[in-house]
Amino acid sequence: MTLHNRTVGTDVRELGALVGEVLETQTSTDAFETVERLRTTAIDYRNGEIDSRDNLDRTLRGLDPETAVTVARAFATYFEMVNLAEERERVRAIRTASQEGSLADSLGAAVESLADRDPEVVEQILEDVLIEPTFTAHPTEAHRKTVKAKLRTIADHLVALDERRLTDTERAQLEDALEAQVTSLWGTRQIRERQPEPLDEARNVHWYLENTLFDTTGEVYREIEDTLGTEFDDIGVPKLFEFRSWAGSDRDGNPYVTPDVTSETLARQRRSVLEKYQEALADLSSVLAHDADRLDTGEVFDDRLAANRKRFPTLADQARERYPDEPYRQHLRLMGERLERIGDVRPNGYDELTGFTADLDALATSLRANGGERIAAVHVDPLERQAQTFGFCLAGLDLRDHQEKHTEAIAAALGREDIAYESLDEDERVELLTEAILQDAPLIDVTDREGLFDPAARVLERFDRLNDWQREYGADAIDTYCISMAEKPSHVLEVLFLADQAGAVSLPEYCGLDVVPLLETEAALDGAREIIGTLFENEAYSQALAARGNLQEVMLGYSDSNKENGFFAANWDLYRNQRRLADIVDDHDVDLRLFHGRGGSISRGGGPMNEALLALPNETVNGQVKFTEQGEAIAEKYANPRIAERNLEQMLNAQIRARARSLDQPADDVPEEWLDAAATIADAARTAYQDLLTMDGFVSYFEQATPITVIEELNMGSRPASRSGERTVEDLRAIPWVFSWTQSRCILPGWYGLGAGIEAYLEEGGSTEMLQAMYDEWAFFRTTIDNAALALARTDMEIASEYAAVADDDLEARFFPVFEAEYERAADFATTIGDREDLVNRGWLRESLRRRNPYVDPLNVLQTHLLDREHRTETEKRALRLTVKGIAAGMKNTG
């Protein structure tokens, strides 16, 4: 059976030609010919048919500003089309493999891996698993919302051309619609004129939850249930997914995320999810027009219907008149009324999610008792799964702020009580906070903010409003507080103290928050035992932990740890400290949930999520895992429903397998000599990386040889690009740091120091053979080397040299040879250890890079020319911003 009408080659060729036609008709023949000349020259050079890029360089240098804008826009638009074509190819591959039964990492494969286990063990594994993708508002999404909408329409046209059997007339109409949409895209402004606001970012996250994940999640549950049914009898499937968000609640470094923004975000999320349920009930009503004369609805259903009729007697009479002898429809109408009254002043809305799911379960049970098994499975069960997953809040919000903000606010508030908090040492602060939490009377009044400086007042207001939010939307809607740069026990106790003073904590009976330290610096990671162990032994915190089910969530920061220590050293620190955390919680009989603060890029913890989950230390795999999803990675994973479903399947496959493995082998059995080798590599890699950052002139080189100043002005996110506005590596946020290196094709955050580290290990007597054995048999080491290889493969030192030439001559001479030497060393070791000829060991990625590189080159060269100009006109500035957007699309990565 032929599933598809097209190939990726067809899509790329036809969409590329369409961009060319639109370019010529919307601008001029001269502009079209200029773009064609640049395109063919770049391809010829990459194919070895010409010896240099001199002609490309001369053409780009000779462009007038308006033509430069057109050229940048043409190549950027081309990459938008290529990205859609490759997305379509991903779907083809998924559908084809699924049809053939050859889909790797499938739910079927996960269930098959459990086939020899006792059903009770399988049930326990599933009970343990909970996967929590957490969407952040980190500013790496380069598209405007309008542009994204147009791209999705083009993608829909490609689906129709690829999957439908069309008449010649229908095909011609679709091709006309496709051309019209590409023409419209060309006429749409590509760059944001204003900085997005936090609510814009929240709405962006909500789009993916509402338009793909809400439906896709129900399908994944149905698939796992059906698949389990082929191997086991009567194994129930518990809740496996929960979605969370930072958009509208992450205050760290973003003064625009106010309590009012958080309130509006919570309200919007509730409206959204309730509308989805109402739509689902309306669809159910059209299906369940069953005649009462043919039914024995059953006692459970009858009781639920009778209770709802009692709540709404007038409406119940109206439902009887509208749906005479149709009890299911009457039931659905009354359920809809209860949904409508959630959060309303009118009584009898659902107080708890369990009431809604009980009504759905009664309906499903009645249907099954009356021969409607398939109806219940197709129409009711997915809705019940959606309700369990999304609740009445769509996604739970995590609050977050920097630890120093809490310290400053407490010092200001306690100062009014004649307590000099800032002068206390760590032990004294811990003692004061503990006593204040345990005593009944509050020490400060969070509602009294008069006379406090603005940051402190905002912190107190946030905790004051927390009570209101939990009362109105339920504790599950906003029940986690993450502390950035947490390095001391007092930093965690400060948040517990503020929540207690606001009334969200009443020990020992109740604690309304998971307090989550974010460990992201070398000092914090190495000091994890002191931080966490001290908290577990603290009288107040141990009571809070008991009230939260003795589950401690700890967040690990991939971004700042990488920026501080380099790629390999950061990954090693994270690996060994995860094991350390597992030992700590085991010593105190506490459960651990690790929250992985991953970014989209390799250097910030990116890479295939299923491989990352399988590479976690066994000691940490208790079934629950939480991780951030950021920026353009959200669109890549969740914009297309089929790809979103595939991502959820792969994550669930990996987590089921990892949990089963951890039961068999509770701790990683890693030879001591391997651990010593990794530590040696990490120490030398860290030294090499930190030596680079402290070299005289490094910051000046970075500022001159990358487009960092342009990126800071791009209006990509609501948060400032740096913490204080100072130009230092420490002050710069991890995202623009990585984004800038990616633009210049020198992606050193993903590999710098690796070569130096391995070389140091070998010089101390280590062997390549042992490194190859580590790669073959140790998932952590293999994944780390593979991810570095991906960053190396996306690096192009020849293009990077064009950026180096923009810097002052002495800076270029000082730094670029160092980069080149480390790149060559790291690339050589990566291929040798991985026993491969090429850095890229995935055929589809090799083909994608081959397809993209010639088209990225003109944008890179044009960008270097524009960066090299001391004074730029407004048109040239616009062209420069467009090159940033185009390279981001071409590299499929920002930060």
Asked, as a colleague might, if the bond just before 517 is cis with ω within 30 of 0, I would say: no
CA distance 250 to 257: 7
CA distance 222 to 219: 5
Give, in order, the Cα–Cα distances in Å from 135 to each of 248, 426, 626, 893: 11, 34, 11, 17
Give, in order, the Cα–Cα distances in Å from 9 to each of 12, 44, 84, 151, 690: 5, 19, 12, 19, 44
Q: Are 836 and 776 in contact (CB under 8 A)?
A: no
- Phi/psi at 390 (5° precision): -100, -15
- Residue 755, classified by CB atoms within 10 Å of its CB into exposed (0-12), middle (13-18) or buried (19+), is buried
Give, in order, the Cα–Cα distances in Å from 83 to each of 15, 80, 87, 657: 11, 5, 6, 32
What type of residue is 122? V
Please report the DSSP string for 469-518 in residue order: HHHHH-GGGEEEEEEET--SHHHHHHHHHHHHHHTSEETTTEE--EEEEE
Distance from the Cα of residue 562 to its chain's centroid: 17
CA distance 620 to 666: 9
What type of residue is 452? L
What type of residue is 628? T
CA distance 10 to 688: 46
Q: Are 603 and 569 in contact (CB under 8 A)?
A: no
Look up residue 751 and give its two tokens.
């590999």
Residue matched to tokens 């240098």: 61
Map 804-862 to HEC letters: HCCCCHHHHHHHHHHHHHHHHHHHHHHHHHCCCCCCCCCHHHHHHHHHHHHHHHHHHHH
Look up residue 888 and give its two tokens.
């981001």
Could you confirm whether 379 is annotated as catalytic?
no
Give, in order, the Cα–Cα distances in Å from 502 to each of 442, 448, 505, 514: 8, 11, 8, 15
Look up residue 599 and give its two tokens.
């970014």
Distance from the Cα of residue 448 to its chain's centroid: 37
Q: Are 214 and 386 in contact (CB under 8 A)?
A: yes
Of 290, 379, 563, 865, catalytic:
563
Could you confirm whether 563 is annotated as catalytic?
yes
CA distance 154 to 180: 10
Q: Are 522 and 461 in contact (CB under 8 A)?
A: no
Helix (H, G, I), strand (E, B) or coil at 418: coil
Give, in order, the Cα–Cα distances in Å from 823 to each of 100, 686, 752, 753, 801: 41, 16, 7, 9, 13
Closest alpha carbon to 210 in 257, 153, 268, 249: 268
Angle at 809 between CA 804 and CA 810, to 5 degrees: 105
Residue matched to tokens 């053939």: 100
Residues 6+ apart with CB under 8 A from 137: 198, 201, 202, 204, 205, 246, 247, 248, 250, 717, 718, 719
Residue matched to tokens 């082929």: 230
What type of residue is 56? L
Give, in order, the Cα–Cα distances in Å from 579 to each of 81, 532, 594, 616: 44, 13, 11, 9
Q: Are 338 and 311 in contact (CB under 8 A)?
A: yes
CA distance 783 to 780: 5
CA distance 175 to 300: 54
Active site members: 138, 563
